[in-house]
Amino acid sequence: MEKIEIIANSAIIERFGDQIRSVDQAIELIPIEKALSEDSIHPQVLIRSEIPNDLLVQILDKFASIRWVHSYSAGVEGLIPILQHRDLVLTNSAGLHGEPIAEWVIAMTLAHAKRFHLLFRHFQAHEWQAEECDELGGKTMVIVGAGGIGASIARRAKCLGMKVVGVRSSGRSSEHFDEMLTSDSLHAALGKGDYVVIATPLTPQTQGMIGESELRAMKSSSVLLNIARGKIVQTEALMKALSEGWIAAAYLDVTDPEPLPPDHPLWSTPNVFITAHTSGYSPYSAERLVRFFCDNLKRWLQGEPLLNQVDLSRGY
């Protein structure tokens, strides 16, 4: 029986090796360190998790036998330039981080509506001081990027009585969205939102798509939440919008640059709250990712189309 050689980092092999091998008895898992030091192997699959791009290039240059690269990340913008001219398939983990990311968005939305930041200051100062809080029912959430993560956010927002408007390039309708607009109608969509969530992949088309004109299209009471990629929002324009009151607040799990240097002025911009790209963290994420990879591995072995295959020409 021909071996099915899969390169992965040692942490994945140690924790999930038995689960991956259970897909087929011919599977052999090869740690990255061993792959780099051996010439007698012919791996067909690479699981890309915590592998720097320069090391990834080294592995791909050495093994022309690799036909499929699976990324544990949903965003693959850094992989496109490396893979787009190679004869292989790229899949990603789009949608698999949707549960924790959606909860982060709802947590920040509730925190803003209920003025948690002000209430916490009163608590720290031992002040019995009330604040005028708001409700989410009846408010409009605009989600730019209506893929798997966007749908997870929309489902939760609907449970809170919010109207949900989506923006996607195709304009194709989707469950949990009350209205879906095309990217050409971005400004019109932004003007509807009490809460605007950026959940679109980073591509050449979406890089810098939220700039001064887009921020000015939002209501002065609107809140921006970015859980996608920092480069989608123009940082200088955002700081200006917050400082001059074009929008009410911004909750950012991603920034440009990232990591954000300690002395960067975005930290001290009024009405901004920043977390260190943690919205997707969950104790259950690794299990979800491996389970999805194993299901896709079965499809690959049976010659079936892979799920979450990335269009290398479009970047997502």
Note whether 265 and 152 are same-domain residues.
yes
Does the residue 181 lie in any domain?
Answer: yes
CA gap 315, 205 in Å, rounded:
10
Do 49 and 9 contact (CB within 8 A), yes or no? yes
Note whether 289 and 231 are same-domain residues.
no
Q: How far is CA 225 from CA 46, 141, 168, 301, in A?
A: 33, 10, 17, 40
pLDDT tens-digit readout, 164-204:
999 999 989 899 999 999 999 999 999 999 999 999 999 99
Does the residue 311 lie in any domain?
Answer: no
Does the residue 267 lie in any domain?
Answer: yes
Note whether 49 and 123 are same-domain residues.
no
pLDDT tens-digit readout, 52-88:
999 999 999 999 999 999 999 999 999 999 999 999 9
Note whether 188 and 289 are same-domain residues.
no
Note whether 74 and 144 are same-domain residues.
no
> Could you confirm whether 264 is annotated as catalytic?
no
Mean pLDDT value across residues 116-130: 97
Note whether 259 and 139 are same-domain residues.
yes
How many structural domains are present in the chain? 2
Residue 267 lies in domain: 98-274
From 86, 258, 264, 288, the catalytic residue: 258
What backbone phi and psi angles, to 5 degrees, belong to 224?
A: -100, 135
* Predicted TM-score (pTM) of this structure: 0.91
Does the residue 230 lie in any domain?
Answer: yes
Does the residue 74 lie in any domain?
Answer: yes
> Could you confirm whether 277 is annotated as catalytic?
yes
Note whether 32 and 131 are same-domain residues.
no
From 21, 122, 155, 277, the catalytic residue: 277
> Could you confirm whether 15 is annotated as catalytic?
no
What backbone phi and psi angles, to 5 degrees, belong to 103?
A: -65, -35
Does the residue 118 lie in any domain?
Answer: yes
